[in-house]
Structure 1
Amino acid sequence: MTAPNWERATILYARLALGAAFLSGIASRFGLYGKDVGYGNFANFLKYTAEVNAFMPASTILFLGWSATLAELVLGIALILGLWPRWVALASALLLVLFGIAMAISFGIKSPLDYSVFSASAAAVLLAIHIPGRRT
């Protein structure tokens, strides 16, 4: 495989991995993996949303849960389809870093590091700055 082919394959891999991760989270919160797998249902997801955002007023949790779900749905689909790659990657990086910061505030820094939230955010930043065909 030539260098440009490796580059394209790597970018595709990162896009598909990030997009699939977003969509998998949505599948879990709606019980598509089963009621005893992951969140299992949206109510359990909202409980987790409240735990991650323990510093936020309880009245914001429903909004945060649905906002995260909508953002992950749109970003996941756009990443997989390769739509607006730079802007979608930047939005993905922002969403992930905000999630990681919320996790760190509520659970300590170990939690987002153990779940590779900042690593995924960094991968999204690399996608955003990637310029096809440019050699580094």
Structure 2
Amino acid sequence: MEDKFRIPQLLLRCALGITFLTPVCDRLGILGKPGTGNIEWGSWENFINYTATLMPIFNRPLVNIMGSIATVAELLIAVFLIIGLKTKYAALGASLVTLTFIVFMTLSVGIQKPINYGVFTASAAGLLLSLMPNYNWSLDNLFKGRKIKE
């Protein structure tokens, strides 16, 4: 049976990976300074300030921890999706992380923000990718069938 998902899953993996990698780079100031171009945050401090608006019930130290956890998770998800390592789990993680964003964003700033930022699309894309039968051009595919000798 022909695998009709070869190219679409690769494109979806890369698009979703970049979707997670770009905000991480933004909040770390890698993409530019605050207020320039399409920079959303431009610094960790600005990112944490925004995160605090999404989580008004948490104190600042806890918001910092939650922002750090989200950043590490997004970075790992991005890298794993792009290289195709543990793709099914990374894609499922992408869906769950974005679903969490949807909930917090909707409760704190309304439904329009997650719609504007494409968070619903990213969540659905992660779920769809997690259900793909095979991940061509991935480390998963390269390692498939190889047995680790003990």
Instruction: State the TM-score, normalized to the length of structure 2.
Output: 0.81
1:26 — aligned with what?
24
- What whole-Å deviation, never above 9, does each CA across 1:1-53 have from its counterpart, x for those lacking one? xxx57521111111111111111111101111111322111000100111112
SS in 2 for 1:119: helix
Paired residues for 1:73-92 under 5 Å:
73-92=75-94
Which residue type is aligned with residue 52 of structure 1? L
Runs of 4+ aligned structure 1 residues displaced above 4 Å come to: none
Choose 1 or 2 for highest CA Rg. Answer: 2
Paired residues for 1:39-78 under 5 Å:
39-78=41-80
- Which region of structure 1 is more displaced relative to structure 2, 93-102 or 105-114? 105-114
Paired residues for 1:75-114 under 5 Å:
75-114=77-116
* 2: CA distance, partners of 1:9 / 1:118: 23
1:125 — aligned with what?
127
Q: Is the 8 A contact 1:29 1:45 kept in 2?
A: yes
Which residue type is aligned with residue 87 of structure 2? P
Instruction: State the TM-score, normalized to the length of structure 1.
Output: 0.89
Q: How many matched pairs?
A: 131
Q: What is the aligned-residue identity percentage? A: 35
* 2: CA distance, partners of 1:48 / 1:13: 30
* 2: CA distance, partners of 1:124 / 1:71: 14
* 1: CA distance, partners of 2:131 / 2:59: 36
* 1: CA distance, partners of 2:14 / 2:67: 23
Aligned-CA RMSD value = 1.8
Structure with higher helix content? 1
Q: Is the 8 A contact 1:19 1:76 kept in 2?
A: yes
* 2: CA distance, partners of 1:81 / 1:132: 14
Q: Is the 8 A contact 1:22 1:75 kept in 2?
A: yes
Tell me, which stretches of 5 or more residues in structure 1 are unaligned? Answer: none
